């Protein structure tokens, strides 16, 4: 998709940058707040993955300890594996920082946005938070990241536009923000 209107280009760039800041903030909170290598997802994986359901799925009083998440055994299994929790302890914060920097700079935007969407998909299934419906923050961020990738948001005030000529077409298409067409099609002016 190509955006020719300058105001819309600014809007897409601002969306990309704001989502990037959200990712960087989340990663820095883990890496600096508790310390890289000391932050652990084990507690969440073991105790925070039962999930929630709300109306119309569940009505009335829910028994304490009820687990709704069909994938919970996977997450609890990861929590019990020291090697996996150590790896996750590095991958999550560094991944969030990398995704955020990619989006803020508009460099490797498609790759960064799709990795953000993948991370949010994992968070979506791990949290299984449907107390207020199926749409939660993880699903929302996932859809926004897919939109950023699809729009080629790094072409608008991002570094992808600057480095695009120094890489091959496959890298441009899949890792950067795709081809940028500079001429307005005749159908758009009619």
How do residues 87-106 score in pLDDT, each as one tens digit? 998 999 999 999 999 999 99
* Alpha-carbon distances of 120 from 83, 145, 150, 182, rounded to whole Å: 22, 9, 17, 33
| Percent of the chain with pLDDT strictly greater than 90 | 49
| Percent of the chain with pLDDT strictly greater than 70 | 93
> Residue 135: how many CB atoms within 10 A of its CB?
10
* Alpha-carbon distances of 70 from 50, 127, 177, rounded to whole Å: 8, 11, 36
Over 106-145, what HEC string results?
CCCHHHHHHHHHHHHHHHHHHHCEEECECCCHHHHHHHHH
CB-hemisphere CA count at 13 Å for 25?
6
Nearest Cα to 123, choosing from 101, 82, 91?
91
The token pair that represents 26 in the structure block:
């989340």
Give the domain ranges of the chain.
6-60+84-179
Q: Tell me if residue 172 falls in helix, strand or coil.
A: helix
Q: If you compute the radius of gyration of the chain from its CA atoms, what whole number of angstroms results?
A: 20
How far is 185 from 190, CA to CA, in rounded Å? 9
pTM: 0.86
User: Which is higher by pLDDT, 77 or 66?
Assistant: 77
Q: 106-120, 139-153, 161-175: which has the minimum mean pLDDT?
A: 161-175
């Amino acid at each position: 998709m190509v955006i020719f209107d300058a105001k819309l280009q600014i809007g897409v760039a601002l969306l990309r940058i704001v989502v990037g800041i959200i990712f960087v903030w989340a990663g820095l909170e883990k890496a600096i707040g508790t310390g890289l290598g000391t932050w652990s997802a084990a507690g969440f994986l073991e105790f925070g993955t039962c999930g929630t359901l709300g109306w119309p799925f569940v009505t009335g009083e829910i028994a304490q300890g009820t687990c709704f998440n069909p994938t919970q055994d996977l997450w609890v299994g990861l929590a019990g594996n020291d090697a996996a929790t150590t790896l996750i302890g590095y991958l999550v914060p560094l991944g969030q920082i990398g995704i955020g920097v990619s989006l803020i700079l508009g460099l490797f935007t498609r790759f960064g946005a799709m990795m953000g969407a993948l991370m949010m998909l994992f968070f979506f299934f791990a949290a299984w938070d449907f107390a207020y419906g199926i749409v939660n923050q993880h699903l929302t961020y996932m859809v926004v990241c897919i939109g950023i990738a699809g729009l080629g948001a790094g072409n608008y005030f991002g570094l992808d536009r600057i480095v695009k000529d120094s890489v091959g077409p496959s890298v441009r298409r899949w890792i950067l923000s795709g081809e940028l067409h500079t001429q307005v099609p005749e159908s758009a002016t009619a």
